[in-house]
Amino acid sequence: MIEILSVLVEEHALAGLFIASFLASTILPIGSEAYVVLLISKGFSILPVVMVASIGNYIGACTTYYIGIRGRQDVIEKYFSISDEQLKKTDRLFARYGSFLLLFTWVPIIGDAITATGGIMKLDFRIFSFYVFIGKTARYAALAYLTAGTLMFFQ
């Protein structure tokens, strides 16, 4: 069984990472970080891993933004498990920190609420995209380089 999983990961590695990263930023409370660590530990190049994870996670965030911009509060609460209180809290954070808050859409629990609030507030999509993509890429790059450094340390 472990051999089968290993073959699946190796043959569909980047596609699987894209799907996991996308879902992690939308409706499923999963993390894609373990997949990033797994691929790097299997010798995959850091740059493609970081870019695929970042793009998948960014597109997932765009999905949440779009649902927010369409004003679908019912969808946000039901499928994204983001409460009205979380949205109000992130609204206050936007009032305090502005668009820079979008750099932290990767943070567990509040990240999806930040993304949805950005949509609800109808933030300019170019500004949304810039900060979200930078934040997500920085997170995956840091994770990848920490993983690679740790692997080199223990060899």
pLDDT of residue 6: 58
Q: What is the DSSP letter of 78?
A: H
Q: Are 90 and 110 in contact (CB under 8 A)?
A: yes
Low-confidence ranges of the chain (pLDDT < 50): 1
Domain parsing of the chain, residue ranges = 2-153
Using one digit for the tens of pLDDT, what is the confidence trace for 39-69? 999 899 999 999 999 999 999 999 989 988 8
pLDDT of residue 83: 77
User: Nearest-5° angle of CA 118, CA 68, CA 19?
Assistant: 95
pLDDT of residue 1: 40
What is the C-alpha separation between 151 and 101, in angstroms, rounded? 32
User: Measured in whole angstroms, how far is the alpha carbon of residue 31 from the centre of its chain?
Assistant: 8
pLDDT of residue 52: 97
Which CA distances in Å does 25 have to 2, 65, 108? Answer: 28, 11, 10
